[in-house]
Amino acid sequence: MEKLKGRMAAITKQYKPWELPKEYYDVQREMNTKRNTLNKALDEMASRAKRQTSKERKTFVNGFGEATRREITSQSYKRAQNRLQKEIDRRFEKR
């Protein structure tokens, strides 16, 4: 890809932007196809890594013995916990 970038830069130095030869567009097309294949490979690697980390998640077993991945904490519980944590932090700041 670096060679292709260099070739494109050399061509653009010789010509004005509206007078670029067919060779420039051929190099540009080749570079785009290589970039697309590289991006697809990188996306595939990222999705594989994501799948591996998602499998390591611990499953929650509810009261009926069913394994589930859903979040069981309600929003009101989270707000109450945040409120309690802020109150505790305020008490420690005073001392």
From first to last of its 95 residues, what are the pLDDT tens digits of the chain?
888 888 888 888 888 888 888 888 999 999 999 999 999 999 988 888 777 665 566 677 777 877 777 777 788 999 999 999 999 888 887 65
Distance (Å, rounded) from C-alpha 21 to C-alpha 13? 12
Number of domains in the chain: 1
DSSP 64: T
Instruction: Please list the residues that pair with 60 across neighbouring strands.
Output: 68
pTM (two decimals): 0.47
| Domain encompassing residue 28 | 2-94
The owner of tokens 């700041």 is 93
